[in-house]
Amino acid sequence: MNVERIAPAEALRRVRGGVVLLDVRSDEERVLGMAAGAQGIVAADLLDTVAERFPDISTSLILICQRGQRSLATAEALQARGYRNIASIEGGTERWEAEDLPMQVTGEDPDFLDRYSRQIRLPQVGLEGQKKLQAATVVIIGAGGLGSPAAFYLAAAGIGRLRLIDDDVVDRSNLQRQILHANDRIGEAKVSSAQQALSALNPRTRIDAVNARIDATNVDALITDADVVLDGADNFPARHVLNDACLRLGKPLVYGAVQRFEGQVSVFDAGRQRGVAPCYRCLFPEAPDDAPNCAEAGVLGVLPGVIGMLQATEAIKLILGIGAPLVGRMLSFDALAMRFRETRIPVDPECPACGSAGR
């Protein structure tokens, strides 16, 4: 005996007549809205508890999922256990919504649910993870090549507060790669230009525009409330100052660098994992004497976009506590060869910052 497959409109008619409608999708999917009258229960939980919930196997049940496959499979499993009055909605919730049938929503902010719906559907994120992002503060040093794509994607992803720190102004030569800025904002402070672009993208994200150069006198105050610090600086002294402050304050530091056709990304978390995770000075104890910047060496315009997005990805992972961050690993990208390479960064016991020499 095959499970009955019914259209959403027919299901609604039966539900209004008293038939039980069960939404067997995940919690993350259901929070975005359910068919009116539905009760939410994950398919696996329904199969585990159906005898207690519905001891009468003659009970009429209608199942719905996102597109119809899971509900059909679950209905077939229930039918095998003796439940005969089972139906599955063809096309699932997507078809229900497309036919403009009534929906019921949670008490969450509709803009929040709609804006971040694709992330909330991810089991690794879900509603609680999205709320973590909303509650997070990320400090970005530099509103230029790396800071631009990183900030853009972090704001889009729903980070609640971004603090951008930069003392430069928009120059025409920036526009080839610094995507937060525009031609009509040449001469404007980069943090102000960035604030305009990010606020237009996502008004839910608070943007702190700090027109200053990071140094030893202000770094602690600027990053003390950060959940993650993102390094988009373009010089070694700033990076060393930032690294040392993150060590003192126990902040994870997401590093990125670009030059010509190559870029690098890593996560330095020695402040929270001293002796286990390296810090930036384990890699670069002192600034090289002959390190050119982008103005001197040049840079392919799209390269900071690749590296900045990778930095944003690492920041999101760190906030959510998911995946494997690039702690103790350097990811290098060669745009000409279109090749990624990973190398290990060991903890230096003699590191002047996090090793015995720095204590």
pLDDT digit string (tens) for the chain, length 359 residues: 799 999 999 999 999 999 999 999 998 888 888 999 999 999 999 999 999 999 999 999 999 999 999 999 999 999 999 999 999 999 999 999 999 999 987 777 889 999 999 999 898 999 999 999 999 999 999 999 999 999 999 999 999 999 999 999 999 999 999 999 999 999 999 999 999 999 999 999 999 999 999 999 999 999 999 999 999 998 999 999 999 999 999 999 999 999 999 999 999 999 999 999 999 999 999 877 666 666 677 899 999 999 999 999 999 999 999 999 999 999 999 999 999 999 999 999 999 999 875 55
SS3 305: helix
DSSP 64-101: E-SSSHHHHHHHHHHHHTT--SEEEETTHHHHHHHTT-
Contacts of 61 (CB under 8 A, 6+ apart): 19, 20, 22, 54, 75, 78, 83, 85, 86, 87
Alpha helices, DSSP H, located in the chain: 8-16, 27-30, 43-53, 69-80, 92-98, 110-115, 117-120, 126-135, 147-157, 190-201, 219-223, 236-249, 280-283, 294-297, 303-320
Q: Which residues are catalytic?
A: 294
Residues spanned by CATH 3.40.250.10 within the chain?
A: 4-107
Predicted model pTM: 0.84
Q: Which fold has domain 4-107?
A: Oxidized Rhodanese; domain 1 (3.40.250)
Q: Identity (one letter) of the amino acid at 94?
A: E
Residue 246 has phi, psi (to 5 degrees) of: -65, -35
Q: Is 119-358 a CATH 3.40.50.720 domain?
A: yes
Residues of the chain with CATH 3.40.50.720: 119-358
Judge contact between 179 and 204, C-beta under 8 A.
no
